[in-house]
């Protein structure tokens, strides 16, 4: 059977996971569309679980209307290329971010492409599938050839690492600083990996759960602190010669985590509110401390094309060992089990292999 015939045969039995409502998935057969001008049809080799997917699984999402295709971290092989695509051909291994900005709106021309409305309105969902159609705006700006030595699983980390790169560019960590990360999940550990690769002196992760703290210590943190212990506040306050951390990165997406980040940073320090909280929540800030302690509060969102390019370079160079974050693997037809594992913190990130 030739390559074109094999692709057609595979497409007849293509599957796609649909999230019908919170907690309810269905794997459906579908016929992947033929790519239009500038588009790529990608055969998924790996999709990764994500904290945003878990939150959507639990309670839905304010932007993604259900039922909807599910999953947005992926890498694969070009199965078909639409008219006008010159950079990629059938058989190329590719990695891509699931969004791209328009390039000409108010925010884009000011270098704030992460705020472009198109980025979220036209986000590609449906990576938990056999095939995924990549639209032209993503192919043009945020799709790359996967280096042969880079595993598909690690290549699928492009999107979350781009978010980390954007946040750390805003935070501008210095090599001689002490950084505290609140949250021992995949994003917290990925931040630690990136900070250590950049030469930061001390990276500490405070979190809950024995397994997660163990993984944090093994994968990048110089020290871990159990946030549930009675002496956690004292241990954090003793960092940096008793002054406290220079930089705090909040990765729980909980208001309690945001409040803790504000409390724990040293005078003159910086706080990065990386984890997004639920809609309608609020943060109470001590304005006297904010002013007289000369604090800088940052709230990065999403990423820009230059962040994606930087993340691609980091993954290609294998500088982080980021693939170690993936500590579980399941088939596409085991997707419900994947979210059950994430619920009980039995995995950091799971590779879903169709």
- Structural domains of the chain, with CATH: 3-156+321-353 (3.90.180.10), 171-298 (3.40.50.720)
> Which one has a higher pLDDT value, 55 or 309?
309
Torsion sign, CA atoms 102, 46, 339, 326 = negative
Residues 266-296 have pLDDT tens digits of 999 999 999 999 889 999 999 999 999 999 9
For all residues of the chain together, what is the average pLDDT? Answer: 94
- Average pLDDT on 332-337 reads 96
Residue 5 CB coordination number (10 Å): 9
Average pLDDT over residues 42-69: 89
pLDDT value for 55: 86
Strand ranges, E, within 49-163 = 68-69, 74-81, 93-96, 131-134, 143-145
Residue 2: pLDDT above 50? no
| pLDDT tens digits along 167-200 | 999 999 999 999 999 999 999 999 999 999 999 9
Q: What is the pLDDT of residues 301-332, one digit of tens each?
A: 999 999 999 999 999 999 899 999 999 999 99
pTM: 0.95
Give the pLDDT score at 1: 40
Indicate the pLDDT class of residue 13, thresholds 50, 70 and 90. Answer: confident
The pLDDT assigned to 51 comes to 87
Question: Which has more pLDDT, 38 or 8?
Answer: 38
pLDDT in tens, 106-117: 999 999 999 999
Q: Are 115 and 301 in contact (CB under 8 A)?
A: yes
Report yes or no: 139 and 87 within 8 Å, Cβ to Cβ: yes
Alpha-carbon Rg for the chain in angstroms: 21
Which pLDDT value is given to residue 12? 57
Task: Name the residue among 270, 14, 252 with its Cα closest to residue 126.
Answer: 14
Contact residues for 143 (Cβ-Cβ < 8 A; gap 6+): 40, 87, 88, 94, 95, 96, 97, 134
Q: Cβ distance 72 to 98 under 8 Å?
A: yes
Q: How much is the pLDDT for 5?
A: 46
Find residue 237's DSSP bridge partners: none
């Amino acid at each position: 059977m030739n390559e074109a015939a094999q692709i057609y045969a595979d497409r007849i039995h293509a599957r796609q996971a649909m999230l019908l409502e919170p907690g309810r998935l269905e794997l459906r057969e579908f016929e992947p569309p033929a790519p239009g001008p500038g588009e790529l049809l990608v055969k998924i080799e790996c999709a990764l679980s994500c904290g945003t997917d878990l939150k959507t699984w639990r309670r839905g999402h304010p932007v993604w209307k259900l039922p909807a295709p599910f999953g947005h971290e992926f890498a694969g092989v070009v199965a078909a290329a639409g008219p006008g695509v010159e950079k990629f051909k059938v058989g190329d291994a590719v990695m891509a971010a699931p969004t791209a900005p328009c390039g000409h709106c108010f925010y884009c021309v000011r270098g704030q492409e992460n705020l472009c409305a198109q980025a979220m309105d036209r986000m590609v969902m449906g990576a938990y599938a056999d095939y995924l159609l990549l639209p032209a705006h993503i192919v043009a700006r945020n799709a790359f050839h996967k280096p042969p030595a880079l595993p598909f699983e690690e290549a699928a980390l492009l999107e979350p690492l781009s978010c980390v790169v954007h946040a750390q560019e805003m935070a501008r960590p210095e090599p001689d600083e002490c950084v505290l990360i609140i949250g021992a999940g995949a994003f917290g550990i990925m931040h630690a990996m990136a900070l250590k690769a950049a030469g930061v002196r001390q990276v500490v992760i405070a979190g809950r759960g024995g397994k997660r703290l163990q993984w944090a210590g093994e994968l990048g943190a110089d020290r871990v602190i159990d946030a549930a212990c009675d002496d956690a506040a004292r241990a954090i306050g003793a960092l940096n010669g008793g002054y406290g951390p220079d930089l705090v990165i909040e990765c729980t997406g909980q208001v309690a985590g945001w409040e803790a980040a504000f409390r724990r940073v040293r005078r003159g320090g910086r706080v990065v509110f990386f984890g997004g909280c639920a809609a309608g929540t609020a943060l109470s800030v001590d304005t006297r401390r904010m002013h007289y302690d000369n604090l800088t509060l940052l709230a990065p969102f999403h990423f820009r094309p230059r962040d994606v390019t930087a993340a691609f370079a980091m993954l290609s160079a294998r500088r982080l060992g980021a693939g170690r974050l993936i500590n579980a693997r399941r088939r596409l037809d085991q997707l419900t089990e994947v979210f059950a594992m994430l619920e009980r913190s039995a995995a950091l990130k799971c590779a879903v292999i169709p």
